[in-house]
Structure 1
Amino acid sequence: MKIKQCAALLMAATMAAVSLVGCGGSDAASGSGATAASGDTIVVDFWTAPQQVQYNLWESRAQAFNATGTQVNGKTVTVKVQQMPETPSSEAGIQNAIATGTAPAVSENVNRGFAATLAASDVVYDLSSEDWFNDVVESRAMGETMDAWAIDGKQYVLPLYVNPMVWQWNMKGLQALGYDKAPETVAEFTEVMKAFAANKDALAEVGVTHSFYRPSLTRPDQYWDRWFDFMMIYNGVSGGKSIVEGNKLTMDRDAAIQAMEVIGTFGNTIQQGELSSIWLEEQPSVLVSINAPWEISLYRENNVVYGEDYVYGPALVNNAGDKPYNYADSKGLAFYKADNISEEEHLGAVEFVKWVYNAENSAQSDLEWLEATTMLPVRGDLNTSETFTAIMEEYPELADLAQWVPYSIPGLATDKDADIWTAFTETCTGPYMNDVMQAEAGNAPDASSYVDAAMEAMKTAGGLE
């Protein structure tokens, strides 16, 4: 199932209204809380992502929870599930709901960048000091993950799933070049690219005509793709260093240059034209792309076999044994503060999420999620817990991805994400590709001047120091 990457659309009128929203209180008679928390029942609104499979999953969980008769202040909690609006984006739908007094008590589908936007308006709860939240972190073995989710030292999201973004290699192409596994270091990668340039006839026999598929590299209107290409590579070669912290650009210049030159190493063999379902071709025409784990089910339906036709390789590192930090395509739950949400509704939402992810239920809840979506839950024990043994044996591709979950870093904690990456594309990846497309594979052009220009443009676009 493909999860769409939506821009966090910051609509001026909406955000003006959001800035006036209070922090929510204990007055159950305000807004919709008067109805939701009246009598002997507290009705908690839960919004799922705009995907039917996720709605079905959360609806079944809500029904099971409602059957427990859990109470808050002597009132029975009932969870009501609905899909969040998808147009113009789920983020805009949540912002409009907050501004118009129709916000849910809790929703999924919140990434770190959007959480930063919501936190800046004080319309989401900080969970970091909540005992129940820390218990969930422990029960899901998420200790290594949560530091990367912090926003100014606070935690506003309970991460649910993560797609570690790494490389997807054409196994037959690698074998045609004499390799039996994917490269892990920058040096190994460069060696493979030089072999690509020297062995085009051997590659042609297995249908490979291009090294890398990435049509979005020159397109600033597809700024979010920088999360998946540049940021994924940067995380690996920098050792997980930050890019933005607070109002400061902290990107490591040398690592950024190195990340761009990894892309540059593909040279003029990059496939930039739009292709449909490239990995479903009888002979895929590229050696490597950025992985798309949400397409695993599609591959299986079309007899594309993991380990034979394609294989995942880690984000590249400088030295063997370095941690392969990568970009986390990851979202989670957030609890909203708004005038229409009573304190009892908030507490009811907490009780529901606590029940789903407590020590007794969390592993089974995450197994059901994995079976339904083939997206990895944010857990540190996917390859060690007996709960997941059977599915990991059935899906070796997921087992390989799971090993990189602890090293997955979510997006920037800033509401200027779109502006920053648009500026980066305009001043760095876009113009740099003009040089790259004149170079032979294995010989990356110097990216230093483009990175320098990008860093200044990023500061301006993001209002950063």
Structure 2
Amino acid sequence: MKRMKRVVAIAAAAAMTASVMTGCGKSGGNEPAANHGEASGEVVSVDFWTAPQQVQYNFWESKAQAFNEAGITVDGKKIEVKVQQMPESPSSEAGIQNAIATGTVPAVSENINRGFAATLAASGAVYDLSGETWFTDVIEARKMEDTITNWAIDGKQYVLPVYVNPMIWQWNMKALKALGFDSAPKTVAEFTDVITEFAAQRDTTMKEMGVTHSFYRPSLTRPDQWWDRWYDFQMPYEALTGGKPWVEGNKLVLDKEGAVEAFELIGLFGNSIQSGEISSIWTEANPSVLVTINAPWEISLYRENNKVYGEDYIYGQAIVKNDGDTPYNFADSKGLVFYKNKSITDEEHAGAVEFVKWVYNKENSAQTDLDWLNATTMLPVRGDLNDNEIFADVMKEYPELAALAEAVPYAIPSIATEKVTDIQTALTESGTAPYMNEVMNAEPGNAPDATPYVEAAMEAMKQAGGLE
């Protein structure tokens, strides 16, 4: 699966050309329109934008066709959903901002992460769903009661989550066994033992196997790849702090001790980190690293290259302090939002809601999510993936997905702030990048003290994000 772009471009939308988009809008603005809809006869046309990925377009197009054929009406008018892909250049987020400014935004779209949702919510561009009965019903039908709390933005819910890729560790199983371990480590102590043993056998057993490095992460010192801090910092941070947040409102609430521990967990790899770019380590006959952060969108690629889950690679939970601690992780997750704009009539908004209600209602939600899983190999946001019989066959066929599904209830989405780019860039520039420069001169298993780097990063994050 092609990895989606994660670049949130906050450039001035008005400066962009409106010709990038097509849509039903007539004028800009973030207030809902009066009920003067673009109904043609007894039909209300509703625009739905998908992610700029063909498999997702195909999925939503099939759902729209089925919905349109069902003849669903609102106030006696038939709703017809029209599906198109959102633009990918310069980024899907920039395209949406341009559409909002020019009045060409759809009634509803997918492909929205929590961080960008915070930007949209701050400008009044999307609807709060938390008081909607249908929204509560969907949450119940998908067993999302625990998960949805992690999506709150200032106590409100603007996003209906669609999919989640829990970001955990992906281990070279053959290398682990050669080092004397039958399973992936769970605790900091077990993790340290594995890295220490790797260092001891680096020039012998590991070298003979072609495993030259313990960890692959070229982006650790690159501020321009700020979004990777979601994976290599937020993932261990959430696990080591019990799921604590970074930002609440206008305050930086990052747990300093937990941040130090997250830095130093990565610091344990020392000079055995592979920081050079490699196209796809896991498709090599003999992968050259012990562990990476998993890339679930590459599952199909692994299978195409005859990689067998449980033999060639295995997923290991986010590392926790003590055995039994909840293994919170970062959720590479996106969902649906409904747009407020003068170009969107009340009828169009109601039609968009009716479509999403139909797709995810109690009768249809499980089949919808199974269809999504089969189409994309990305996990739908549900709390019963390993318990609901409708998913049993696909989970049996894809044990790697079953393993990932265990991490879904503990997956926490990106921080909810419109300053996400600035904050995470500051984290890299003042924290992870200088710290990793010191780490790369240390022996594996001997992480340098990260305290001064975390302190510098926290101050820089406050300044960059205008936080207290």
TM-score range, shorter chain: over 0.9
Deviations 1:297-335 (A, max 9, x none): 000011011100000000000111111000000000000
Please tell me whether the aligned partners of residues 172 and 206 of structure 1 are also in contact (alpha carbons under 8 angstroms).
no
Residues 1:173 and 2:175 aligned together = yes
Aligned to 1:22: 30
**Which residue number corresponds to residue 153 of structure 1?**
155
Which of the numbers 71, 75, 83 marks the counterpart of 2:77? Answer: 75
Residues 316-355 of structure 1: matches in 2 within 5 Å?
316-355=319-358
Of residues 244, 260, 269, the one that matches 2:272 is 269
Question: Which residues of structure 2 form unaligned runs of 5+?
Answer: 19-27
| Contact 2:33 2:343 (C-alpha < 8 Å) held by counterparts | no
Residues 111 and 13 from structure 1, CA distance in 2 versus in 1: closer, same or farther, beyond 3 angstroms?
closer
1:137-173 deviation digits (Å, cap 9, x = unpaired): 0000001111110000000000000000000000011
In structure 2, C-alpha distance between the alignment counterparts of 1:446 and 1:5, rounded to whole Å: 33
Question: 376, 379, 387: which is aligned to 2:382?
Answer: 379
Contact 1:140 1:379 in 2 (8 A): yes
Q: 1:447 aligns with which of 447, 450, 467?
A: 450
Which amino acid is the alignment partner of residue 383 of structure 2?
Answer: G
CA distance in 2, matches of 1:180, 1:448: 34
Normalised by the length of structure 1, the TM-score is: 0.97
Q: Distance in 2 between matches of 1:7 and 1:416?
A: 13
Match of 2:144 among 138, 142, 145: 142
2:207 aligns to what?
A: 204
Deviations 1:1-43 (A, max 9, x none): 12323222112253999xx723213331xxxx4xx32421000
SS at match of 1:43: strand
Give the Cα separation in 1 of the matches to 2:124 and 2:57: 27
TM-score w.r.t. length of structure 2: 0.96
Match of 1:225 among 213, 217, 228: 228
How does 1:277-292 map onto structure 2 within 5 Å? 277-292=280-295
Residue equivalent to 2:7: 7
CA–CA distance in structure 2, aligned partners of residues 116 and 2 of structure 1: 25
Q: Secondary structure at 1:54's aligned position in 2?
A: helix
Describe the superposition over 1:345-388 as per-residue Cα deviations: whole angstroms up to 9, x where unpaired. 00000110000000000000000000010000000000000000
Structure 2 counterpart of 1:240? 243
- CA distance in structure 2 between the aligned counterparts of 1:377 and 1:234, rounded to whole angstroms: 24
One-letter amino acid of the structure 1 residue matched with residue 9 of structure 2: L
The 1:91–1:210 alpha-carbon spacing in structure 2 relative to 1, beyond 3 Å, is same
Confirm or deny: 8 A CA contact 1:392 1:398 kept in the other structure.
Answer: yes
- Alignment partner of 1:364 is 2:376: no
Q: Specify the SS of the correspondent of 1:118.
A: helix
SS of aligned partner of 2:111: strand
Distance 1:420 1:378 in 2: 27
**CA distances 1:377-435 after superposition (whole Å, capped 9, x unpaired):** 00000000000000000000000000010100000100111100111101111111121
Find the counterpart in structure 1 of residue 308 from structure 2.
305
The structural deviation recorded for 1:105 is 0.4
The residue type paired with residue 175 of structure 2 is G
User: Does the C-alpha gap of structure 1 residues 364 and 15 become closer, same or farther in structure 2, counting only changes over 3 Å?
Assistant: farther
Give the structure 2 partner of residue 400 of structure 1.
403
Q: Deviations over 1:196-231 (max 9, x none)?
A: 111121112221110000000000000000001001
Deviation, 1:287, is 0.2
Quote the Cα distance in structure 1 between the aligned partners of 2:388 and 2:158.
27
Assess if the C-alpha contact under 8 Å between 2:30 and 2:100 holds in 1: no
* Residue pair 1:112, 1:411 contacting (<8 A) in 2 also: yes
Do the aligned residues in 2 keep the contact of 1:5 with 1:224 (CA within 8 Å)? no
Aligned Cα RMSD in Å? 1.4
Partner of 1:217, secondary structure, is helix
Hey, what's the Cα distance between the residues in 2 that align with 1:176 and 1:3?
31
Check conservation: 1:173, 1:287, Cα contact below 8 A.
yes
Say if 2:29 and 2:100, in contact at 8 Å, map to a contact too.
Answer: yes
Distance in structure 1 (CA, Å) of the matches to 2:14 and 2:138: 33
Task: Indicate which of 130, 133, 151 corresponds to 1:131.
Answer: 133
SS in 1 for 2:221: coil
Q: Distance in 2 between matches of 1:40 and 1:414?
A: 41
- What fraction of aligned residue pairs are identical, expressed as a percent? 68
2:191 is paired with a residue of what secondary structure? helix
Q: Which amino acid counterpart does residue 2 of structure 2 have in structure 1?
A: K
SS at match of 1:133: helix
SS in 1 for 2:89: coil
